[in-house]
Amino acid sequence: METTFLILEDGMTFTGKGFGKRAPLYTELDTQPLFGEVVFNTSMCGYQQILTDPSYHGQMVVMTSPHIGNYGCEPLFSESTHCPIAVPSSALIIRSLYEGPLPLERVSLDAFMQETGVCGISGIDTRALTLHLRETGSCNALLFRNGHTSLTMSEKTQALKTLSFLPAISERNLIEGVSVRAPLVDPPSSVPTPTSPIIRFALVDFGIKSSIIAELYKRNAAVTLLPSSSTSAEVLSHNCDALFLSNGPGDPMMLPEAVASTKTVMEILPTVGICLGHQILTLALGGRTTKMKFGHHGANHPVRDLFSGRTFVTSQNHGYMSEASSLPSCVLRWFINANDQTIEGLWHKEKPIASVQFHPEASPGPHDGSWIFDRFISIAQGEKS
Amino acid sequence: MSARTDIKRILVVGSGPIVIGQACEFDYSGTQAVKALKEEGYEVTLANPNPATVMTTPGIADHIYMDPLRPEYIEQIFQREQPDAILSTMGGQTALNLTLELERLGLLRQYGVEVIGASIESIGLAEDRGSFKKIVEGLGLESAKSTIIHTLEEGLALEASMGLPLIIRPSYTLGGMAGAIAFTHEELPLFLEHALETSPTHEALIEESLIGWKEFEMEVMRDKLDNAIIVCSIENIDPMGVHTGDSITIAPIQTLDEGQYQKMRDASIAILRAVGVECGGSNVQFAIDPKSGKMVVIEMNPRVSRSSALASKATGFPIARCSAKLAVGYTLDEIINEITGESVSCFEPALDYCAVKVPRFELEKFPLPSSALGTQMRSVGEALALGRTALEALNKALRSSEQKLEGLTDLTEEYRYGISEVEVLLRSAHPLRILAAYTQLCRQGESVASEISDITGFDPWFVHLLVEQSRLDKRLQQGLDRDILLEAKMAGMSDKRIATLLKTEESCIERLRYAYELHPVTHYVDTCAGEFQAITPYLYTTYGETDEAPLLGEEAVVILASGPNRIGQGLEFDTCCTLASLAYRKLGKKTIMVNSNPETVSTDFNISDRLYIEALGSEEAKEILLRERTNNIVVQLGGQTPLNIASKLKTSGAKLVGTSLEGLEKAGDRGQFSSLVSALGLRQPKNRTAYSQKELVSLAEEVGYPVLIRPSYVLGGRGMFIVYDRKAIEDLIEKKAICSSKEAPILLDQFLEDAFEYDLDAVCDGQSTYIGGILQHIEAAGIHSGDSAAVFPPYKSNPTILTQMKEWAHKLALALEVQGLMNIQFAVKDDLLYLIEVNPRASRTVPFISKASGVNLVEVAVRVWENEDLVHQRLVGKKGGIGEGKCLLGWAVKEAVFSFDRFSNVDPALGPEMRSTGESIGLGKSFGEAFAKSQISAGNNLPTSGKVVVSVNKKDRKTILPVVKKLKALGFQIAATKGTARSLFDEGILCEVVQKVHEGQPNLTDYLKEKSIALVINTPMGYLAHASDDEIRSVAMRLKVPYTTTTSAAIAAVDAIEFLQKKRVMVRELPQ
């Protein structure tokens, strides 16, 4: 009998059944602890896109939707095509795993996670966990198994001790693991590479989701993918028309070099960004970012366009945000979250610089913000407010 | 804030009487809309001739009209109330069609009334199948291959080009009415003809069959700024081929991948945009071919619907309320989500549970045709259950549907179905198909799972749920410990289901469960999967997880509602429960509502202090009492459902509010009741109780023919017969139509032929009695009270007898120690008063009497329960006295409304078994006016000229004479069948003779088909009506030719015709 446990920093413990790659044994805690910041995602569909989203690197994802794995997995659904790690998130935490039959071309979620080496735990009260995270905020947790049905006091004490030594998400540099190692011109995509592109982006990869590249290709925009460590000179050396800062995991404050490089490049090239890219841009513009209590992770977040007055439903995945009071006067709020009024997008008054906190590429989530890519391209082509 | 200030007065149109396909969901949405508009300061006028509704309760809207939903009446409302706008999207197809009609007649323009909600253009685009198809194709989406036809010949020609089966959908009808699937060459012309007849535009869409495809629904909202959201996605477990109202469904969608789901989402919003729905909710339906993945758009409804009510209850998102706000100019992001109090409504609810709906059928009353379910809706109600997993929700929903299903069960084990029957069920679109699938899995093992999926069209994902249940069943049978018991409870299995499986008693499982301390926990329905804290108290229960809601304690009272709608127990009871909750809260008491019916107002999130969406079983009710730490429970408002569990609740220590269990039982037990009746010196028809099959005949002879035979403890008169002789009862015994046993005795009563029946509703406080009103039935005795037209106050009744009724009521109330509501049925024959039945609980007529008399009887009862006696309430002069309500507007007539037109194989003649689905009301200064209005609202088109055919049985030939004379005087031509014509001739009336069906051609049905007949008066002989009578009535019903089946109804009809001839249209506002 093997049992898998999820234990949070504050001692809250969940007992469940492991799936995917087997979680490390209790005895392996010291040598290879499986840990990450636990965040909940309220999307009701698209578990594979979430699991493979490089922005989740360093995090364990709780799906609030109870049934996961319903339609299996296939390569086309992965968001980590350009990522050195197939499944960047640390673990998947779910209520109920589907283990029934699937169409021939699909593999089960269990098999997919075994193949890609990701651990999962199922059969736990994900709602209790979600409510707890909502009240106390996201925190680190440890996933492991032992050979019996419960956790002894001493095992729990030891696990908590291990947890106390592990770094918080804000202390971790998670980018290196998920960024391309060397520049890549016209990275492959599910969408054909533009043959006669109207523009070329220098796309700094902090852990890019494949769909972003696909959305750009669909609009006839070419991409040169650059490592996250690229200096401004390196970025400029590729003779691109505009800078694109990708999404990615972790705290933007951990990336001073990227901020510095952006500061330089955005004076020269039109600059746009998504998610972490938006946060880096915030810092480069002189603003501040802060950690949110439990962030926004889901596919149902209302975002208000302050220019048009329209509100639309977006896909979101972020634990940090731009601080409204810190923004310099040259920057306007483009979007805000209609629920909590947090900043969801910036627009530079004078320069072709803009960004969004949410995910216009969706995947998973509603396509209602996909027009943002058209605006980005038009900004890259020199549009100003 | 962008609520419109250029409109001040709004007319909201309700959906009228309840019929299959248009039920109490529109009371729910209409009530929500009226409240939302009033909140914004608009003056709201409501038009709805359905007396059973919450929305027509005084105080809900500013002005209430219960006049017919016809242009001439609406025009008067326009004149009196001068509304600036009409909200057309809350009253189902009825309100949409009425709005189109008002537009066509130019009345909207004439009175400067703007249509809000959905524009005339968008209603037209969505409802007209041809234009809608063009829109779909214009968006690059696919719709099913189809052709519009206007003639039979056009339709028949399609067989060659499109092949069979073909789907036939008449335009502008409700709930798929007269829609059909033609599988054979022979069926096609019949179905085509019926469809063309039924469509108001004589138009039908003939469509390629998508039977077996997966079916989905999206509930979409869009505002004037083009903000759009999907409130809920719904997947039908039953594949295409079964009307969505008849399908078991689950929310959210489970089997689509992200790409497929988003494609459907994009398409839904694009369709709303193209159709032009810009301030409200719509529902868009899709089919997906499970093999190719091809997606096809089926249809859309540009209004709130049954699905939107379901979606609202499944997600917590109040669609109707938001639609009303959008209709007056708000945008989605301006409307705060009341469930969380902090987020806005421009988001998409995230569910962390599954919501399963199971439809409820009346298979005994309305048997399914050979092809089982089809494109036309046949279920009469539905139950919703929420569970953390799909299996839990499915088991709970099956149990909630109150069809004697305890969840997924082996049909051969529990219900003694034969294996061949299971095979048949598996292959037909039958309500039990899912259980047949489960049975096959249990019997033949998991290896047949994929075969079952192929045969049934259930997605493998759903079949896998059944596999999980069968594995769980096996493990339970291997031994019960805490873990496995918990797992069973988490899978939604009831104690009773586990007990049956383990061949033990429910109480044993309950004891074990208590010993293991396994009790349900509550989760909030919060619209956001836990992301925000819920501030409204909408709960469901599950097992083994975190318990979220604080308990309410001894101060709270639990109200058990009535569960899924069924014939005889529907909207009326839900209205009673809702009004009780509102009354209690007015008095400062906290209420906890328990119900499983998603269509209702009682399950709206702000009616009670706490709402549980749960099955109305004793296990659930006991656990809720236990958890909330209260003992107070109301069982007398929700019809038979709560009463069925009253004694179990009492045993476990619950305190029944109002009349004691003893009082309830004394009224229900024949022996006890008979002794009470004689002790009080009252009169009852002769009666006996048969405890065995053998006694039936001899007891019937003792009582004397005709005899009314029925099982004990049933509602709505199921299994009732009137027998006129020994042979008839022997026939019934032989056919096993009646089965008498010690456990289920059969009641035999002297049947008072030609008697008049009365319904009396009263409230008693233990000392005094307030008679809300007495209703006189217009149909003769023997026709179920729920099916009979009735008039308040009694019409041409002997005042002495009426006084006697009140005195008897008072005596009975005191003797039964009634605390609260009481309903009595009386019969009068030869000027003698008989007591038929006493029910110390709310009756179907309580809302009707309350509205007609202006006294909310439910509130009166609640005040009594809260120790405010009737004298204090100023309803009774002095302690121990009798008070009485009056009809405020002169006359109020209630007419029963049927859904017979959905069941071509059902004889519309009325009998002792109730079959009406709804009711209409007519209010007037004269009886004729009130009756005429009630008929118009019930859809009976009484003529003002033309030819009347009279065909009555021998005993009616005298009583029909004055009717015929009056009709002649009113200018009608008279025709009669041979026997009737002869007796009329004897009385000096010469009339045309028409042949009965079996007498050759042309006969009565041919004339009906030629539409040369305006009214049929046809009284059948006893209950064993002749086949030709059946056909006359069926044809008349199908062609919408009004017919009456009793002489008393014919007399009332003539009064009404006389009124109609005067062409005086006068609306009557309900006094507030």
- Residue B802's alpha-carbon distances to B518, B759, B789, B829, B893, in angstroms, are 56, 11, 19, 13, 18
- Strands laid side by side in the B295-301 sheet: B295-301, B280-288, B214-222, B228-236, B249-251, B354-360, B381-387
Residue A226's nearest CA partner among A241, A217, A214, A238 is A238
CB contacts of A310 in chain B (<8 Å) are 225-227
First to last CA, chain A: 63
Tell me, what's the pLDDT at B150?
93
Q: What is the pLDDT of residue B904?
A: 60
pLDDT > 60? residue B1022: no
By annotation, the residues of A acting in catalysis are 275, 359, 361
Quote the mean pLDDT of chain B.
Answer: 91
**Structure confidence by residue, pLDDT tens digits, A144-156:** 999 999 999 999 9
- pLDDT score recorded for residue B173: 74
Contact A70 B255 (CB under 8 A): yes
**pLDDT tens digits, B488-542:** 999 999 999 999 999 999 999 999 999 999 999 999 999 999 999 888 889 999 9
- Do domains B9-116 and B940-1061 share one topology? The answer is yes
How far is B211 from B164, CA to CA, in rounded Å?
11
Q: How far apart are CA B773 and CA B751, in angstroms?
A: 25
Tell me the nearest-neighbour CA distance from B540 into chain A, angstroms. 14
Give pLDDT tens digits for B567-583.
889 999 999 999 999 99
Lowest-confidence pick of A293-307, B31-45, B202-216: B202-216
The answer to whether residue B1021 scores a pLDDT higher than 70 is no
CATH T-level assignment (fold) for domain B125-336: D-amino Acid Aminotransferase; Chain A, domain 1 (3.30.470)
Residue B334: partners with Cβ closer than 8 Å, 6 or more residues away? B1, B2, B344
Does B75 have pLDDT greater than 90? yes
Q: What pLDDT does residue B175 have?
A: 62
* Residue from B258, B354, B486 to probe the interface with A (highest A Cβ count within 10 Å): B258
CA distance A113 to A120: 8
Which residues from chain A sit within 8 angstroms of residue B482, using beta carbons?
Answer: none
A175-380 CATH fold:
Rossmann fold (3.40.50)
In the predicted model, what is the mean pLDDT of residues B669-698?
Answer: 90
pLDDT of residue B824: 97
Tokens of B338: 């009341």
CATH 1.10.1030.10 at B371-381+403-518, yes or no: yes
User: What is the Cα Rg of chain A in Å?
Assistant: 21
Which candidate from B261, B390, B546 shows the least CB-CB separation from A127?
B546
Confidence band of B653 (pLDDT split at 50, 70, 90): very high
Whole-number pLDDT of residue B715: 56
Whether the CB of B261 is below 8 Å from some CB of chain A: the reply is yes
Q: Check residue A382 and give its pLDDT.
A: 83
How does DSSP assign B571-613, residue by residue? Answer: HHHHHHHHHHHHHHHHTT-EEEEEE--TTSSTTSTTSSSEEEE
Tell me the pLDDT tens digit for each residue of A359-376: 999 999 999 999 999 999
pLDDT of residue B1047: 85
Instruction: Tell me which of A199-203, A210-214, B182-186 is least confident.
Output: B182-186
- Flag whether residue A304 sits within 8 Å of chain B, measured between CB atoms: yes
Per the CB < 8 Å rule, is A64 touching B253? no
B318 cis-preceded (ω within 30 degrees of 0): no
Residue A184 one-letter amino acid: L
Backbone φ and ψ for B286, nearest 5 degrees, come out as: -130, 155
B531 to chain A: which residues are within 8 Å by CB? 40, 42, 64, 130, 134, 298
Question: Which pLDDT value is given to residue B1025?
Answer: 46
Helix or strand run (H / E) with residue B393: helix B390-400
Nearest to A101 among B227, B256, B460 (CB): B460
Q: Which amino acid is at B959?
A: T
Predicted confidence band at B271 (pLDDT cuts at 50, 70, 90)?
A: very high
The pLDDT-based confidence of B954 (bands split at 50, 70, 90) is confident
Percent of chain B with pLDDT over 90: 68
- Look up the ipTM and state it: 0.97
Identity of the residue in B265, B388, B544 whose CB atom sits nearest the CB atom of A66: B388
Are A49 and B258 a contacting pair at CB < 8 A? yes
Q: Do B390 and A302 touch (CB under 8 A)?
A: no
* pLDDT of B1023 higher than 50: no
Containing H/E element for A65?
none
> What pLDDT shows up at residue B368?
66
B310 has pLDDT over 50? yes
| Nearest beta carbon to residue B348 from set A127, A128, A300 | A300
Q: Is it true that domain A3-170 has CATH number 3.50.30.20?
A: yes
**CATH of B9-116 given 3.40.50.10380, 3.30.70.580, 2.60.40.2130, 3.40.50.20:** 3.40.50.20
Residue ranges of domains in chain B: 9-116, 125-336, 371-381+403-518, 522-657, 658-684+752-888, 686-743, 940-1061
Closest residue in B to A73 (Cα) is B257
pLDDT tens track for B758-813: 999 999 999 999 999 999 998 777 778 888 899 999 988 899 999 999 999 999 99
Per the confidence metrics, is the pTM higher than 0.90? Answer: yes
pLDDT band at B56; cut points 50, 70, 90 = very high
- Chain B within 8 Å of A309 (Cβ-Cβ)? yes
The third-level CATH classification (topology) of the domain covering B940-1061 is: Rossmann fold (3.40.50)
The confidence score (pLDDT) of residue A385 equals 46
**Is B658-684+752-888 a domain of CATH 3.30.470.20?**
yes
Give contacts of B 296-355 with A, CB under 8 A.
Answer: 331-333, 342-344, 346-354
Q: Which residues of A touch B548 (CB under 8 A)?
A: 131
Do the Cβ atoms of B352 and A126 come within 8 Å? yes
% of chain A surpassing 90 pLDDT: 97
Other beta carbons less than 10 A from residue B653's beta carbon: 10
CATH topology of domain B522-657: Rossmann fold (3.40.50)
Q: In chain A, what are the domain boundaries?
A: 3-170, 175-380
pLDDT digits (tens, 9 = 90+) for A249-288: 999 999 999 999 999 999 999 999 999 999 999 999 999 9
Q: 3-state SS string over A258-321? A: HHHHHHHHHHHCCEEEECHHHHHHHHHCCCCEEEEEEEEEEEEEEEEECCCCCEEEEEEEEEEE
Residues 855-874 of B with CB under 8 A from A: none
Q: Looking at the complex, does the CB of residue A41 fall below 8 Å from at least one CB of chain B?
A: no
Q: Is the pLDDT of residue A384 over 70?
A: no
**How high is the pLDDT of residue B909?**
64
Q: Of B38-47, B183-192, B367-376, which range is least confident?
A: B367-376
Which CATH topology does B686-743 take? Dna Ligase; domain 1 (3.30.1490)
What number is the average pLDDT over the span B852-868? 97
Whether A16 and chain B come into contact, CB under 8 Å, resolves to no
User: Contacts of residue A150 in chain B, CB cutoff 8 Å?
Assistant: none
Which one-letter DSSP state was computed for residue B529?
Answer: T
Mean predicted confidence (pLDDT) in A56-83: 96
Exposed/middle/buried for residue A378 (C-beta within 10 Å: 0-12, 13-18, 19+) = middle
Please determine, for residue B126, whether its predicted confidence score (pLDDT) is greater than 90.
no
In the structure encoding, which two tokens stand for residue B465, read together? 């749920």
Percent share of chain A, pLDDT over 70: 99
